[in-house]
Amino acid sequence: MQQETIRLEKSMSVTGIASPYSWDSPFFYSQATIHNGVIYVSGQAALDSDGAIVGENDFDAQAHQVFANLQRVLAAAGSDLSNVIKVNIYMTDMTKFPTIIECREKYFSKPYPADTTVEVTALAIPGLLLEIDVIAALD
C-alpha cells in the first residue's frame, strides 16, 4: 500500500493509505487516513484482493476476513489491532452478535476499544453481512 500526504493548512496534514485493490479505484477514497498520530480506517468488508466476497452467507467467515483486512490496512499505516481505540460495526443480522463478541476477544486485548454496533438493512454490496471501521493510534 502506498502513502500519500496532502496539506490542508500550514499546521495540518493528512496522510492517505492507498488501496491495494484494483476493484475499488472508481470510488475515490483511501483505505485509511492518518492525522496527528491517529489512523482512521475506512469500513472493511469480507472482500478478497479481487473484490470477491469471502464467505458468502457465512457470518463467521466474513467476520474473520474483515479482521484480516483491518489488520492489513493498519499494518500499512504503521499500526496493528492492539492500537485500536474505537470500533464501529455495521451488521445485517443482530442474531450473529455472539460472533462479534468472540472476535473482540480474539483480535483485541485489554483495554478493549470503545465500540458501537448497529444493525443495518443492507451494505454496499449484496451478500455482505458486516462492515467494520476503526480508529487506531500509530505505534
Does the pLDDT at position 10 exceed 60? no
Residues 11-16 have a mean pLDDT of 78
pLDDT of 98: 97
What CA–CA distance (Å, rounded) separates 37 from 29? 20
Q: What is the pTM of this model?
A: 0.88
**For the chain, how many helices (H) and strands (E)?**
2, 7
More confident position, 113 or 20: 113
For residue range 88-114, list pLDDT tens digits in order.
Answer: 999 999 999 999 999 999 999 999 999
Give the burial string for 31-59 (b: 16+ CB within 10 Å, else e): bbbbeeeebbbbbbbbbeeeeebbbeeeb
**How many other C-beta atoms are found inside a 10 Å radius of the C-beta of residue 28?**
6
CATH of range 3-137; options 3.30.1120.10, 3.40.33.10, 3.50.50.60, 3.30.1330.40: 3.30.1330.40
For residue range 22-65, list pLDDT tens digits in order.
Answer: 666 667 788 899 999 999 999 999 999 888 999 999 999 999 99
pLDDT of 1: 55
Does the pLDDT at position 124 exceed 50? yes
Residues 69-86 have a mean pLDDT of 95
